[in-house]
Structure 1
Amino acid sequence: MAKQDTNLAASRLEGTGACALELSGVARHFGALIALSDINMRIAAGERRAVLGSNGAGKTTLFNAITGDFECTSGRIQFFGEDITEIPAHERIRRGLRRTYQISQLFDGLSVLESVFLACRGVSRRRFSLLRPMDRDANMAQAHSILHAVHLEDDRDLLVSTLSHGRKRQLEIALALAGAPRFILFDEPAAGLSPTERRDLVAILNALPDHVGYIIIEHDLDVALRVSKYVSMMHNGRVFKEGTPEEIENDAEVQAIYLGGGHG
């Protein structure tokens, strides 16, 4: 990464007093295959960051390392100042780290409301309770609030199996919002969506509370650049360029590699 890019990244954190996520020299090897190499990132609390790159650039592997689905071969990961490098994935969730996946991982036999309620219950102190929720159950109230935020309140009683692909993507965002998320990793949430659904997705992401930061991996550049304030470009397992959406969109090297010489 160029020195000026490093200075720019550092300057965004000056005076904030909070770094949500910090990766220092993170690498992940699969035998002789180097999937990630010397990844260094600092992401401020509440920041919205896009991570872009072609297939095989290492984006999803990066997410898996952050969430604990993959162990780091080397390097360190800190989450709001705490070293989580050796902490298992479920403990990272309890600390407020959430993610979505490229392939939907939902329970088709549940209703939309049941799915979100169980997600809220699963990260609460009463997660092991066998009692049915009362009318004033805090987790149920939060579930209804989340469904409103992701535009699914009218579908709350539908079975997940009956939802369209776009609605299932919205439900995945709802599940990521369960509990009290401090930071979310969105893995290609616009994949397979219609133009109307993509506009709805942009509206949902831009309306998230300011304190909830996120990283979004997305092949749809129009979506990624409209919901992020800063962009990291990956290539061959490394971060090779960083900047604002405008800087990345107008960068000649980025255009040559990813945009086919231009972006309309």
Structure 2
Amino acid sequence: MATNVAASRLQGTGANALELDDVGRQFGALTALSGISMRIAAGERRAVLGSNGAGKTTLFNTITGDFNPTSGTIRFFGEDITTLAAYERIRRGLRRTYQISQLFTNLTVLESVYLACRGVSRRRFSLLRPSPSDGAMAQAESIVHAVHLDDDRNATVGMLSHGQQRQLEIALALAGAPRFILFDEPAAGLSPTERRDLIEILNALPKHIGYIIIEHDLDVALRVSEYVSMMHNGRLFTEGTPEEIENDPTVQEIYLGGGHG
């Protein structure tokens, strides 16, 4: 059985990437999040699962600063970031992807990744063209390789398949040496072959980069995570290993519709 949230990993340590304490978010009379407390260690790969309306994307938005929680605190590597602007969280190494692609379709793959690397560098306001020794360009080349887009590095983003654009979004999140990434349904709309490629990309990320993945595809989520937090109606209701979550009858009833093949 999956562990009860009240007894799960809530003890603070110096090695946590994210610490959420009693985080809540209201929109007028609507309570989207209530009493969310979790600890995610540096380098940990966590899945946050739940049915539509469970509060998963709202949770991401509070962590990244798209809007602040109405209650509770959020710490990132020990620093209280509850009220920091989103760009300040990015500067501290927090990244995310979105459910809906947000890409510049007229740029090439390499140009897109280069601009992302340049945008978080000290030279981001320079108007000079990149030199052969430009560090941001070297990083961009490495990231393009990491997300399996070598053959499409000079292709225009608008000409990429949906799956390739999702790979590019992961590349953009890797720009500038991130410390932690939030992946918002990266497998949405992917073919079985593209899902296998996504799993390979995520599992091959450097071990020091932790992440949370929101994903409706259980086969993807459970193969790229070490620990799973289940949400329902804006609350955490259980946590456990992928095996515990997959075999938990309450999870199957609420989320999997009675079973998971």
Summarize the Cα distance change of 1:142–1:214 in structure 2 as closer, same or farther, 3 Å threshold.
same
Does the 8 A contact of 1:98 with 1:176 survive in 2? yes
The answer to whether the aligner puts 1:155 opposite 2:155 as a matched pair is: no
1:154 and 1:106 map into 2 onto residues whose CA distance is 19
CA RMSD of superposed structures (Å): 1.3
Amino acid at match of 2:172: L
1:50 and 1:58 map into 2 onto residues whose CA distance is 14
The answer to whether the aligner puts 1:131 opposite 2:141 as a matched pair is: no
5+ residue gaps in structure 1?
none
Does the 8 A contact of 2:54 with 2:234 survive in 1? yes
Amino acid at match of 2:184: D
The alignment-based identity, stated in percent, is 78
Amino acid at match of 2:244: E
2:256 and 2:7 map into 1 onto residues whose CA distance is 26
1:66 aligns with 63
Summarize the Cα distance change of 1:142–1:263 in structure 2 as closer, same or farther, 3 Å threshold.
same
Does the 8 A contact of 2:4 with 2:238 survive in 1? no
1:219 to 216, 219, 228: 216
2:102 aligns with 105
**SS of residue in 2 equivalent to 1:56:** coil
5+ residue gaps in structure 2?
none
The answer to whether the aligner puts 1:246 opposite 2:243 as a matched pair is: yes
What's the TM-score, normalizing by structure 1? Answer: 0.96
1:6 and 1:28 map into 2 onto residues whose CA distance is 20
Matches within 5 A, 1:1-264: 4-10=4-10, 17-264=14-261
Does the 8 A contact of 1:5 with 1:243 survive in 2? no
**SS of residue in 2 equivalent to 1:43:** strand
1:10 and 1:73 map into 2 onto residues whose CA distance is 21
Runs (4+) off by over 2 Å: 2-8
Aligned pairs, how many? Answer: 260
